[in-house]
Structure 1
C-alpha cells in the first residue's frame, strides 16, 4: 500500500485498506512469559477485529510462535548483546548498513533478512511492554533498530502500550528519543512514561496515553456479564469458565490443557498431593516474581507468605500459585520462587506449573482475590472483577502497576514491599500490617467488584478506541486525539493501602516547603555535576520516601546544580531545598547550614560523591524507631568502592576499579575505637536531630576530619548502634583524581594529618585543664620506657636479619660444593671436558 503523508486523521468510519503488518513483541523466549505472549495475542486479535489479517510476528522462536498463534507468519527478530558498549556498537553497525555501507556487517547477519521482511510489510507495530529502559537495554535497542529499519524503508511505526524508563543512561535516553521520533503514534500506559515521552519529544503530536495492550484481550474473554460477588456459582460468579473457554477458542488462542498441580501444606514443608483446590472456597490467585528489588528473596518470600496466610484466615479461601514466567518442564522462574513462599505459609496451597497465556488468563479472571508482584496478573485480575492486592518490589514495578490501576480510575492501591516489611505508623510489624490490609480488602470485596463491573463498559470503550487509533497510525497518519475522557476516579479500595504507601512512595502532590519529614538529608557539593547527578538519583532510589534533601552548593556555579535538580523535579515532588553559598564556607559550615534548613526527626549527611544501598534509610530509620532503642544514632556496614573518571569522553564515564569492606572486623561503634581512628564516614551515619542540643554543631574551624571530631563528641554523649551484614553505604574513593573530582582524604592527606593532630591536642588540653598533668606525665614516662625497649628490639631484629642472610649465603655455598662433589657432579665435569666446555 502507499504510505500517506503524516496528518491528523480521525478514526475512520469506513474500512481500513488491506494491510500487512509486522508485530514486534517479546515472544518466543526460552522462558515463557505470560504477559508478553498475552500482549501479542491482544495485538493480533485487535488487528484482526479491524480487518488486518495479514500479520507477521517477529519472534525469537519461530516454531513455538507458530504453535501458539494461529494464522500468522513468524520470522526471526534481531538480537542484541547485553553489555552496553556491545549493543551500542551493534546499533552503530546497523546504522552504517542503513546508510549504504553494506560491508559494515557480514552478509550472513540476520539484519539483512529483517530489512527485507520489513520492506515487504505496510507497517510495523511495536507492541506493548516494559522494556524500553537501560535495565532491559538489549530489548530497547532491538526496538530502536526495528524502528530505524522501518523508517529507512518508509514504513509507518506505531508503539503501543509501552512503559519507558525509569532507568535510563544518557546514551539509552537518546536511543529511546530517536525511537519515539520515528513512530507515528506512541501509546504510553502509565503517567510516568507519558511525562517522560513528552519531555523527550515535546513536538511529537502522536504521543498519547493508552491502556495496556492486554486489557482489551482480557475483556474480550468476558463474553457474558459477570454476576455479583457472592453468587452461588462454584467460583463466586455465574457461568464464567465455559464462557471464557468459548471466547478464547473462538479467538484461536485457546489452550484447554491444564498442567499438573500440587498442593503444599504449609505445616509440612514440601508435602505434595494431586488433589485439587476445593471449588466451593474463594480462590486466591498468587503470582510472585523471583526478582524482589533490593530485598533478600527469603525476606520477601516471608512477607508474601504472611499476607497470603492472613487472607486465607479472613476468607477461608484456597491459595493457588499461578506462575507467570518459567521454562516449560524446568520448574524454574516463578515456579521455583513460589515454592519458597509456599513452604513459609501455614496454609495449604495449590502449585501450578507454567501455562500458556490463554490458560493463565482464565485462571486469573476467575479468581476472587489476586495477590501479585507481577504486572499482568494485576491487569487480568482487574478485568475479572477480583479484589487485587498489588505489591511493588521497586519503583519500576510501582510505575507500571499504578498505570494498570489508573486505567480503571483506581489510585493509591499499589503497596510497596518496603511498606509491608517496615510498616511504621500503620503497624508494629509485618503480621499486624498484613492482617489490617487483608481485613479491609475482604470487607471491601463486594464494593470493589461492583465498582469494577460498573466501569467495565467505559474501559472496554477506551481500549476499543485505542486499537482503532492504532490502525489509523499504521496507515502513516497521525490520528486525532481521542474524544473519550479517562475513566472517572474510583472511590473503591482500602485506606490501609494508602496508609502503607505514605512513607514509601513519592508524594502525589509536592511537599510543602515547611513540612516536617522523618529524615533530613544534607548534601554538600561544589562544581561536581557528574557526581552530583549520580548522588541525586541515589537519594531518589531509596525505598523510604519520607525525607527532605537540603542541597548546599558551597560556592560552586549554581547553574548546573539548579539544572540537575530541575531535571528531577517531578521525582523530588517538592522534597528539595537548594541553598547556594556565594563563597565557600567549608564542609562543616555547609553541614550546619543544611541541618538548620529543614525540620526532621533524623539527620544524615550524604556527600555528593558517595552512595547508599536502596535500603539504607529503611533499615536505619527502623532501627532508631524501635520502641526499645536508646541509641543516639546508627552506623551501617560500609564498603569502599574505588573508581576512576574518564574525562576524555563526552559525557565523562565513571568506572569502578575495585571494592573492599571498610573495617571488616568491626562489630560495634565504640568511643574506645573512635579515639584511635575514625571508624565511620558521613554516608554511613543516621542520627537523631536532638543530639545537636546535647553536643552542638559540626566544628566549622576544621577544614578536615570534621566528621571524626563530631563522632567523638557524639560517642561521648550517646551510644551509636551498628547494623552488621550487607553493606548499606558505599564510600566512593578516587585515589588518582585531582582537582574537583578528588577525595579530600587523598588530595588533602597532609591537611588531614595536621588536623588529626590538632583535634587530639585540643581534647588533650581540655582533659588536662580539668584533671591536671599528673597522669599524662606518669604515662608519658612509661610510654618513653616502652618506646626505648621497642627501639632496642628493633635494632636487635635488624642485626639478626643481617646474620640470618649471611647464614643463608653460607648454606647456599655449602650446597653448591656438595653438589659438585657428588656422583652427578663427577658426570657433569666429565661431560664438560668431553664437549670442550669450560
Structure 2
C-alpha cells in the first residue's frame, strides 16, 4: 500500500529532531506494510495537488485562509493521505491548515482515506471553519496536547477519531531504527537547545538566566557544553549565540546548526537545558535530565504534554519564575544553582524512571500507529488511551516551588492568594473582554479575580467569564449589582469577597502588560523594600524621566492621580486607613490615595524584572535631578510630620487655593497675551500707513521741485 505523507515543515528552515522524527514515521509505516512517500507543500506527486506556493516561499498573508479549488485536480495515485505535523514546534497556522484542507478535499473526493497525526493548534490563530472542515474530512486525528484536543472537540464534538497522538515517541530508538549518525567528537554532557523568544520577555532578560543555568551545571558536573538553536531561523541562531556568549571563556561553545549531527548530540546528552518541545522529546529518549524552561505559555504547555507522556508531570519551569523566584530563592543565581544541584543529585532516579517508561511508550506508539494504518486502509480504529505511563514524582523538588505562582493551578487555591484583582465594569462588554484577557495573560498566576458588575447586564458578564472558564481555573468570582453603587462601594464589596496579601484595583478600560503583576509582587516582596504600595509603569524598559517619579503626598495634594490599575498595595493598610469612601462618586480613588500617602510610602516599578539582584552602590553625582529629588524628600518628610500632628485639611485647602490662584493668574496672563497681540497688530497697521504716506510725500516733493525748475528756465 502506498500513501502520500504531506508534512508541515517542507520548504521551511530545518528544525531540531525533524529528520529523526520523519525517519521514525516512515519506518513505523514500513513495519506495517505501508510505503510512505514524503510530499512537499506545493508539489504534486501522484496527482496530489496542494495548491500552495512553491516550496521555500511563503504565500501572502492575505490568502492564508483561502482553500485551493480541487475541482479540476486528477485522482491521486496514492491510496491514502497522511497529514503529518512533524517538524517545527509551533502550532499549525491558517496557511498550513488551508494547504492541508485542499489536499484532504482532493483525497476525499476520490475516496482516499485521510489521517492527521501530530496536529498542534493555537486557538488564537486557527481559522474555525477551515479547521472544522479539515477535521471532518479525516477519519483519525492525532493531536499533540490536551489544549489542541480540547479545541478540536469544541469544533467537532461528535467526531469519534480525535485522540492524543504519539508523534514524539518516534524518536525512541528501536531495534530496527538508528538514532542518527554518531558525533565525530565525544558527546558533551550538557546540551542547550534554544528557540527564539515569542513571549513577554526579551533576549536581554532571558539569555542571562539560561547562561547562569548552564554555568551552574558546568560547575556541578565539570562537563562541556554544546549550544544549538531549535530551528534554523536567524532569530533562533541569534538567541542561542546570546546565551553562549555569556558563558565563561573556558566553557564558551560554538553555536551549531540544527542537522542530524546536532540531533545526535541531544540524543547523547546527560543534561539538556531547553525551551523547545521537540528537544524535550529527544532528551527524554536519550535518558537525559531535561531542564525545561518555558519562555511563553504555548511552548510550556507543549513541553508539559511531552513530559506527561513519560509520566513526568509539572516539570517545566516558567522563565518568569527564575527571574523573580520570590521566597523560593534570593535571586536568579541562587535559584538556578539550587536547580542544578538537585538535578545532578537526582540523576540516577530520573534515568531509572525514564528507562522504566520506555516499554509502555513503545506499546502506546504501536497502538497509535496500528490505528493510523487501519484508518489509512479505510477501517475504523479502536478507541485509544491517552495515558501511556502512570504519573510519577521524579524531579527536582525546587521545580514545584518555582512553578507555584507562575502556572495555572489545577484546582482553585484553598489558601489566601497573593494578589486580589478587583475589576470594576459596567455595560462595556468589549472592554471587559480585553481586561479579562489581560489578567489571564499575566506571567504571575497566584491571583484571585473579583469582577464587580456595577449595574451592567449580568448575562453578558457571565458569558464572558464562561468562555474563559478553563483558563480562569476557579480563580474568578463575579458580584452583580442591579443598581450601580458607585466606584467606592464596588471596590469595598470586591475587597470583602477576597482574602489576599496584596490588592490591585482596575477598571475594564485600563491596559496591562503581561509582566505587570510579576514586577509589582517582586518589588513588594523584596526584603529591602519599605514601601507599602507600588505604581507599575505601563511600558517596561522605558528610561526613567528626570526628577521625581514615584507618587507623593505633595503631588496628590496638588491633584496628581495615578491610574488605579497601576497601583498595587498591601491589604493590611485597610486596618489603618479603613475602606474607600462610598459617598464620593468620581474622587473615591483619589481620596484613598491621599490617606494612603499621608501614612505610607509608594514606590515606582519601572523596567523589566532583573535576572540578578543589583547590590552595587549607585553613582554619587549631585546633578540637578538628584538635588530636586532630595529636596522633594525633605519637603515630603516635613509635610507628613505636620499632617500627622494637625491633619491634612489645611494643606488640602491651601493646595486648592493655590491651584485656583494659579489658574486665575494663567487666565489673566492669557488675556494679557490676547491684548498684546491686538496692540501689536494695530502698531503694524499704523506702521504700514506711515510708510505709504512717506512714499507719497516723497514723490510729490520731487515732482514739484522739477516743475519749478522748468518754469524758471522757460521764464528766461
Same fold by TM (over 0.5)? yes
User: Does structure 1 retain, via aligned residues, the 8 Å contact 2:168–2:281?
Assistant: yes
Q: Which residue of 2 aligns with 1:699?
A: 581
Cα deviation for residue 216 of structure 1 reads 2.1
Is 2:590 the counterpart of 1:688? no
Query: Which one of the candidate residues 31, 34, 43 is aligned to 2:16?
Result: 34
Partner of 2:494, secondary structure, is: helix
Q: Deviations over 1:743-772 (max 9, x none)?
A: xxxxxxxxxxxxxxxxxxxx9xx9797699
What is the aligned partner in structure 2 of residue 529 from structure 1? 429
Q: Any idea what SS the aligned residue of 1:34 has? A: coil
Written as runs of structure 1 = structure 2, the 5 A alignment for 1:562-641 is 562-638=462-538
What is the match of residue 468 of structure 1? 370
**Could you say which residue in structure 2 is the equivalent of 1:50?**
32
Q: 1:142 aligned to 99, 108, 111, which one? A: 99
Whole-Å separation in 1 of the counterparts to 2:299 and 2:656:
65
Contact 1:147–1:179 (CA<8 Å) still a contact in 2? yes
Of 429, 451, 469 in structure 2, the residue corresponding to residue 551 of structure 1 is 451
The question of whether the paired residues in 2 share the 8 Å contact of 1:144 and 1:175 is answered with yes
- The 3 A distance-change label for structure 1 pair 445 and 256 is closer
- SS at 1:700 equivalent: coil
8 Å contact 1:27–1:37 — kept in the other structure? Answer: no
Distance apart, 1:166 and its partner CA = 4.8
Indicate whether 1:208 and 2:201 are aligned.
no
The separation in 2 between residues aligned to 1:40 and 1:776, in whole angstroms, is: 74
Q: Deviations over 1:424-478 (max 9, x none)?
A: 1210101111111111100110111111111111111111221111112223333
1:59: how far off?
Answer: 3.4
Unmatched runs of 5 consecutive residues or more in structure 1: 1-17, 67-71, 101-111, 224-243, 249-253, 259-275, 641-659, 728-762, 818-838
CA distance in 1, matches of 2:15, 2:500: 45
Q: TM-score, normalised by structure 2?
A: 0.82
- Contact 1:526/1:556 (<8 A) preserved: yes
Structure 2 unaligned segments of length 5 or more: list them.
610-642, 697-716
Task: Using the TM superposition, give the Cα deviation of residue 335 of structure 1 relative to its aligned residue in structure 2, in angstroms.
Answer: 2.9
> What is residue 5 of structure 2 aligned with on the other side?
22
Q: Distance in 2 between matches of 1:441 and 1:779?
A: 64
Give the match's secondary structure for 1:326.
coil
What residue is the counterpart of 2:628 in the other structure? none
Deviations 1:502-529 (A, max 9, x none): 11101123334xx300000111223333
Instruction: Pick closer, same or farther for the CA change 1:139–1:805 going to 2, 3 Å.
Output: farther
1:81, distance to aligned residue in structure 2 (A): 6.7
Residues 151-160 or 626-635, more deviating: 151-160
Determine the C-alpha separation between the residues in 2 that align with 1:40 and 1:623. Answer: 48
2:669 to 790, 800, 809: 790
User: Please, which moves more after superposition, 467-476 or 436-445?
Assistant: 467-476
1:362-377 equivalences in 2 (<5 Å): 362-377=264-279
Are the aligned partners of 1:190 and 1:209 in contact in 2 as well (CA < 8 Å)? Answer: yes
- Is contact 1:288–1:338 with CA below 8 Å preserved after alignment? yes
After superposition, where does 1:25-424 map in structure 2 within 5 Å?
Answer: 25-29=8-12, 31-59=13-41, 78-79=52-53, 86-88=63-65, 90-91=66-67, 94=68, 97=69, 115-116=73-74, 119-128=76-85, 136-168=93-125, 172-211=127-166, 213-220=167-174, 247=178, 283-291=189-197, 293-326=199-232, 332-346=234-248, 348-356=251-259, 358-424=260-326
Check the 8 A contact 1:525/1:554 in 2, yes or no: yes
Tell me the C-alpha RMSD between the 2 structures. 3.8
Deviation at 1:564, TM superposition (A): 2.2
Q: Tell me, what secondary structure is at the counterpart of 2:192?
A: strand
Q: TM-score with structure 1 length normalisation?
A: 0.71
Q: Secondary structure at the match of 1:196?
A: helix
Contact 2:271 2:288 in 1 (8 A): yes
Flag the 1:545–1:124 CA change in 2: closer, same or farther, 3 A.
same
Change (3 A) 1:717 1:355: same
Is contact 2:489-2:580 (8 Å) kept? Answer: yes
Q: Name the CA distance, whole Å, in 1 between partners of 2:169 and 2:500.
A: 43
| Offset of residue 593 of structure 1 | 1.1
User: Which piece of structure 1 moves more, 142-151 or 560-569?
Assistant: 142-151
Give the distance between the partners of 1:44 and 1:638, measured in 2 at CA.
51
Aligned residues: 655
Q: Spell out, residue by residue over 1:790-834, the C-alpha distance to the aligned partner (whole angstroms, 9 max, x if none).
A: 3674355223442475489789999x99xxxxxxxxxxxxxxxxx
SS of the residue 1:511 aligns to: coil
Query: What whole-Å deviation, never above 9, does each CA across 1:58-93 have from its counterpart, x for those lacking one?
Result: 23799xxx9xxxxx99987625978865434x34xx
State the alpha-carbon separation in 1 of the partners of residues 163 and 339 from structure 2.
34
CA distance 1:370–1:714, shift in 2 (3 Å):
same
> 8 Å contact 2:519–2:536 — kept in the other structure?
no
- CA distance in structure 1 between the aligned counterparts of 2:672 and 2:213, rounded to whole angstroms: 67
Distance in structure 2 (CA, Å) of the matches to 1:573 and 1:481 = 29
**Cα drift, residue 668 of structure 1:** 2.7
Alpha carbons 2:22, 2:86 under 8 Å: kept: no
The DSSP-based 3-state class of the residue aligned with 1:510 is coil
The question of whether the paired residues in 2 share the 8 Å contact of 1:390 and 1:413 is answered with yes
> Computing the radius of gyration over CA atoms, which structure comes out larger, 1 or 2?
2
> 1:720 is matched with which residue?
602
CA contact (8 A) 2:115 2:138 kept: yes
Distance in 1 of aligned mates of 2:225 and 2:111: 51
The question of whether the paired residues in 2 share the 8 Å contact of 1:133 and 1:166 is answered with no
Q: Quick one: structure 1 residues 51 and 791, their matched pair in 2 at CA, closer, same or farther if it must change by over 3 Å?
A: closer
The CA distance in 2 between the partners of 1:777 and 1:133, in whole Å, is: 58
